[in-house]
Structure 1
Amino acid sequence: MTEQERVQKQFELKMNCLNDLLTKEMDKSKLLENQLADNLKKVRMLTTGTTTLDHLLTIGQCPSSNWGLEQPIICNFDPIHWN
């Protein structure tokens, strides 16, 4: 085998190896893109759900109330003197 043939053979082996590596990386990239798209959908649904929940929790609530977890409800609304 001549030097040129040996170099050609090494070149072909490296090309095959790099092609395999490229294929694996492209598959991995596609998988990660799909996972990212799924996560973005979940975040959008979570945001929408949180906004809806916040709205439902504030319905009928006095605007000046500032209650949260383990905090007393403070409201200036007096149903006795309400017109």
Structure 2
Amino acid sequence: MTKQERVQKQFELKVNCPNDILTKEMDKSKLLENQLAENLKRVRMLPTGTTTLDHLLTIGQCPSSNWGLGF
């Protein structure tokens, strides 16, 4: 292997390394964006879910009852 070939190979390694790192970081970024979107959906659904749960728990209960979950 000539000196020029070695230098070229080293240069290629130096160029490819940042590209590999960039690709990995972009994949990681996409994954985190997807996780953020899922968490945002869950947070937006949370108030709706608790309202529905409160409604279901109060169905059929007298407002003045002090037994069960109505304390």
TM over 0.5: yes
Cα deviation, residue 24, structure 1: 0.9
Cα deviation, residue 61, structure 1: 5.6
DSSP 3-state at the match of 2:60 = helix
Q: Provide structure 1 residue ranges, at least 5 long, that are not aligned to the other structure.
A: 68-83
Larger radius of gyration: 1
- Counterpart in the other structure of 1:35: 38
Aligned residues: 66
- Looking at secondary structure, tell me which structure has more helix per residue: 2
Alignment of 1:1-83 (within 5 A): 1=4, 3-58=6-61, 60=62, 63-66=65-68
Bigger drift between 38-47 and 2-11 goes to: 2-11
Cα deviation, residue 52, structure 1: 1.9
Over aligned residues, Cα RMSD in angstroms? 2.2
- Counterpart in the other structure of 1:72: none
Cα deviation, residue 66, structure 1: 3.5
Which TM-score applies when normalising by structure 1?
A: 0.61
Q: Provide structure 2 residue ranges, at least 5 long, that are not aligned to the other structure.
A: none
- Counterpart in the other structure of 1:80: none
Which TM-score applies when normalising by structure 2?
A: 0.69
Cα deviation, residue 39, structure 1: 1.7
Q: How far apart, CA to CA, are the structure 2 residues paired with 1:66 and 1:31?
A: 41
Residues 14-66 of structure 1: CA deviation (Å, up to 9, x unaligned):
100111111111011101100111122233321111012223332x3651444
